[in-house]
Amino acid sequence: MTKLKEKIVSEINTMSTNELVVIYEQIQLLQAMKRVVKPSESPSVETILDMTASSSGSWAEAALDERADRL
């Protein structure tokens, strides 16, 4: 991990002000995502299986139909 940090710091030290602004904005977006997405809020595999068990259609066919215009 320290090698990665050293590489990042080295790259940051060579960046222009405009590049640093972009990096700072990206860091802010990452921090905002951390606040919004919490792993504990994700449904368990069992919950997903229970929810999808009642589906009578074919998910593969639905995906193909949805993407037909892009093939």
- Whole-prediction pTM: 0.45
Confirm whether 26 is domain-assigned: yes
- Domain range enclosing 7: 2-39
Residue 71 pLDDT? 61
Q: Is 13 helix (H, G, I), strand (E, B) or coil?
A: helix
Q: How confident is the model at residue 44 (pLDDT cuts 50, 70, 90)?
A: confident
As a whole number, mean pLDDT of residues 21-42 equals 81
Q: What share of the chain is helix, strand, coil (3-state, %, to 5)?
A: 80, 0, 20
Confirm whether 8 is domain-assigned: yes
Q: What is the b/e burial string over 4-30, where b = at least 16 CB atoms within 10 angstroms of the residue's CB?
A: eeeeeeeeeeeeeeeeeeeeeeeeeee
Residue 55 pLDDT? 72
Confirm whether 70 is domain-assigned: no
Confirm whether 10 is domain-assigned: yes
Q: How confident is the model at residue 39 (pLDDT cuts 50, 70, 90)?
A: low
